[in-house]
């Protein structure tokens, strides 16, 4: 990852790489400076205290050397001149030196009875508190200013108690120069502070390479975190967060904001995981991500949203046609065969498209609507562009959903029947049940106008039960009138997913008194292949009840005739798209003939859908097709509570031209 990419990734996370070296250098220097200044002040105070204490002890010791030369009379008052001269000689010899400026003797009342300076004799001490403390037996001191020739000097005055023979007590007062004491304290403090400062400076210098190393490591960790936060760990592709940020950037560009969002989902990917395991599934996802990435242009980005879901953001394919072309290109790249665990696997992808600003101006709107379009594409096959009709949260879809529920309650849904004609005899051998909606306002609606809403509203199971019940009631009526017909009813994936479905079918057959062999359930191959194991189990249970199974719309899904060998099906219905092109496409005609031939070898009856011309009948009959249905042979017809014999004759009469053609 480049520095620019790294910075951009961290900016997307709302973070910036910490400049630890600079911050540590500045903050530690400030901290050490403040600490050093505080330490210096403390040391100076400490050393000053030590120096003062030493001076006090020295003064106390010195004064004790003159105690033995004093007499009690020295504490009673002013001394005789001869005695004063003796004391002067004593103090000059033993007390006064270069640092001691003056000395005096004080009585307990604080009056000085002797002083080396004659002007002090007879005065009273100003600090009575210090005097009292000294008389209690402790040596006290204080800093005082005394007049001098240069205007004043700071001295350390010490009060040292003494006791004479006979019990008389007094206090020696000694004034020592303070400047030498302060100077000694300063020198000692500076020496200690210098050593400590050098140690702190060395420690500070050692922190710089350590912090530089820590910074590089943290930056690498942040780079990794940023990548993991914005990219999918499995495929290395941008994830949902990064994709959303890029989409927001495009939408917020002034005067622009036009783009396409493609929502891609792999079809039947669960089967790969279940069959080959998750490790192989992950390998396939990495391969698919690379193929999608390779199919994109310079202004198109892809992301893995999670599971088997991917998304593409395009700033060039901003119109429906170009967006669909891009989706087809992506689908083609995904559909290329790939080798996984020694097997050749072909994947299909469903793609939904949402365009900005047509379908939304925010990230959430576009992703949600592209997702909705993708689910519609799963049902239809080709990529789908979002429309309001697809959105079950839109007012139109919500209104349709509510009306559908009421329609089922009011029995507005009508079952139509389209005949299936035996191509060998021209006789109607059965009918397929097709549902219509007799809307009270919009008139008769075809299935394409409401079946998607049925799926989204979760009403597919209810609709199947409704159609099955109505169809079996009509089949019973025809049976009572002497018309022996088969009945084909379409079932959905949700029906086969419900374990109760086989029992429901058996109960409905018993309730209407219909032979199970007369009922044929049609399942599209896509529905069957989406959950082959569970769907196959349900179909086997139905076959055990005597019901026939037909594979509908064969040829447009993903199954093969080889897979049909394991399915409990008896009928194969060829999709109308192949039948319609038989006359114009030699390949489609060859496909139809091949399907019919192989299906017969598997013991399956073949029914062709979409027969709309006599030529279709001739080609199918020549190819050996068993039965057919289409507008040529009979359009879907409604039924009432009891279909009359005349109506039945009308359906049969539609096959008369066919029978004549066979004659």
Q: What gap in Å lies between CA 241 and CA 250, rounded to an integer?
A: 15
| 571 vs 125, residue with greater confidence | 571
Task: Please report, rounded to a whole number, the percentage of residues in the chain having pLDDT higher than 90.
Answer: 18
Average pLDDT of span 377-388: 83
pLDDT (0 to 100) of residue 415: 92
Crossing angle of the two packed helices 532-544 and 501-512, in degrees rounded to 10: 30
Average pLDDT of span 76-97: 80
How far lies 389's CA from each of 182, 317, 367, 369, 371, in Å? 96, 23, 17, 11, 14
Kindly list the strands in the beta sheet with 112-115, ordered across the sheet, starting from the edge strand earlier in the chain: 112-115, 100-106, 169-177, 153-163, 140-146
Q: Mean pLDDT across the chain, nearest whole number?
A: 79
Residue 393 pLDDT > 60: no
| 381 vs 348, residue with greater confidence | 348
Q: What gap in Å lies between CA 632 and CA 5, rounded to an integer?
A: 65
| 189 vs 649, residue with greater confidence | 189
Residue 146 pLDDT > 80: no
Residue 66 pLDDT > 50: yes
Average pLDDT of span 364-389: 86
| 648 vs 270, residue with greater confidence | 270
pLDDT bin (cut points 50, 70, 90) of residue 655 is: very low
| 400 vs 281, residue with greater confidence | 281
pLDDT (0 to 100) of residue 352: 93
Q: Which tens digits make up the pLDDT trace of 507-558?
A: 999 999 999 999 999 987 666 655 556 677 888 899 999 999 998 877 655 4
Task: Please tell me the least confidently modeled range out of 23-37, 169-183, 412-426, 486-500.
Answer: 23-37
Q: Which tens digits make up the pLDDT trace of 175-216?
A: 887 777 777 767 766 777 677 777 777 777 777 777 777 777
Average pLDDT of span 48-60: 73
Task: Please tell me the least confidently modeled range out of 10-24, 124-138, 310-324, 482-496.
Answer: 10-24
pLDDT (0 to 100) of residue 511: 93
How far lies 205's CA from each of 21, 25, 26, 181, 201, in Å? 11, 9, 12, 36, 6
| 565 vs 54, residue with greater confidence | 54
pLDDT (0 to 100) of residue 111: 84
Q: Which tens digits make up the pLDDT trace of 308-346?
A: 899 999 999 889 999 999 999 999 898 888 877 777 777
pLDDT (0 to 100) of residue 653: 47
pLDDT (0 to 100) of residue 467: 92
pLDDT (0 to 100) of residue 5: 47
Q: Which tens digits make up the pLDDT trace of 545-596?
A: 999 999 887 765 545 555 666 678 899 998 888 888 887 788 888 888 988 9
């Amino acid at each position: 990852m480049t520095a620019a990419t790294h910075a951009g990734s961290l900016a997307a996370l709302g973070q910036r790489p910490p400049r630890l070296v600079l911050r540590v250098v500045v903050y530690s220097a400030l901290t050490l400076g403040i600490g050093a200044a505080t330490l210096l002040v403390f040391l100076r105070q400490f050393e000053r205290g030590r120096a003062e204490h030493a001076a006090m002890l020295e003064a106390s010791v010195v004064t004790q050397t003159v105690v033995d030369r004093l007499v009690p009379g020295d504490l009673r008052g002013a001394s005789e001149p001869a005695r004063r001269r003796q004391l002067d000689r004593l103090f000059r010899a033993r007390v006064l030196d270069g640092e001691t400026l003056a000395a005096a003797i004080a009585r307990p009342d604080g009056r000085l009875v002797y002083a080396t300076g004659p002007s002090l004799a007879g005065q009273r001490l100003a600090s009575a508190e210090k005097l009292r403390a000294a008389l209690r037996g402790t040596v006290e001191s204080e800093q005082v200013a005394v007049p001098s020739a240069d205007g004043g000097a700071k001295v350390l005055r010490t009060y040292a108690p003494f006791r004479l023979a006979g019990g008389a007590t007094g206090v020696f007062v000694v004034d020592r120069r303070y400047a030498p004491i302060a100077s000694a304290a300063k020198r000692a403090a500076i020496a200690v502070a210098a050593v400590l400062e050098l140690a702190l400076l060395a420690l500070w210098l050692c922190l710089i390479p350590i912090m530089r190393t820590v910074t590089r490591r943290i930056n690498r960790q942040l780079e990794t975190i940023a990548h993991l936060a914005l990219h999918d760990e499995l495929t290395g592709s941008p994830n949902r967060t990064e994709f959303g940020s890029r989409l927001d950037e495009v939408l917020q560009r002034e005067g622009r904001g036009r783009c396409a969002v493609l929502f891609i989902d792999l079809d039947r990917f669960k089967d790969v995981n279940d069959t080959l395991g998750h490790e192989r599934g992950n390998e396939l996802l990495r391969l698919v991500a690379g193929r999608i990435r390779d199919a994109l242009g310079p202004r198109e980005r892809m992301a893995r949203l999670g599971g088997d879901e991917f998304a593409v953001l395009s700033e060039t394919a901003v119109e429906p046609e170009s967006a669909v072309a891009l989706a087809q290109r992506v689908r083609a790249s995904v559909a290329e065969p790939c080798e996984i665990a020694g097997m050749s696997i072909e994947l299909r992808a469903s793609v939904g498209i949402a365009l900005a600003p047509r379908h939304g101006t925010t990230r959430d709107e576009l992703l949600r609507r592209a997702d909705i379009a993708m689910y519609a594409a799963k049902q239809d096959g080709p990529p789908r562009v979002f429309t309001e009709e697809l959105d079950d949260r839109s007012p139109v879809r919500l209104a349709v959903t509510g009306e559908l529920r009421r329609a089922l309650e009011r029995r507005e849904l009508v079952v139509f029947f389209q005949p299936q004609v035996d191509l060998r005899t021209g006789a109607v051998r059965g009918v397929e049940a097709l549902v219509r909606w007799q809307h009270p306002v919009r008139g008769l609606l075809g299935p394409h106008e409401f079946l998607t809403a049925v799926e989204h509203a979760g009403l597919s199971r209810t609709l199947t039960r409704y159609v099955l019940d109505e169809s079996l009631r009509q089949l019973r009526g025809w049976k009572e009138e002497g018309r022996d017909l088969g009945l084909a009813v379409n079932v959905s994936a949700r029906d086969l997913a419900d374990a109760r479905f086989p029992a429901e079918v058996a109960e409905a057959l018993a309730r209407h008194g219909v032979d199970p062999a007369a009922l044929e359930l049609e399942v599209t191959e896509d529905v069957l292949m989406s959950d082959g194991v569970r769907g196959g189990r349900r179909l086997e249970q139905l076959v055990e009840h005597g019901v026939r199974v037909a594979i509908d719309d064969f040829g447009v899904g993903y199954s093969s005739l080889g897979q049909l060998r394991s399915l409990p099906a008896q009928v194969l219905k060829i999709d109308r798209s192949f039948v319609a092109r038989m006359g114009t496409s030699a390949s489609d005609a060859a496909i139809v003939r091949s399907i019919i031939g192989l299906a017969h070898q598997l013991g399956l009856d073949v029914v062709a859908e979409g027969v709309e011309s006599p030529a279709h009948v001739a080609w199918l009959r020549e190819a050996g097709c068993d039965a057919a249905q289409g507008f040529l042979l009979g359009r879907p017809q409604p039924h009432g509570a009891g279909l009359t014999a005349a109506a039945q004759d009308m359906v049969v009469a539609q096959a008369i031209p066919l029978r004549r053609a066979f004659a």
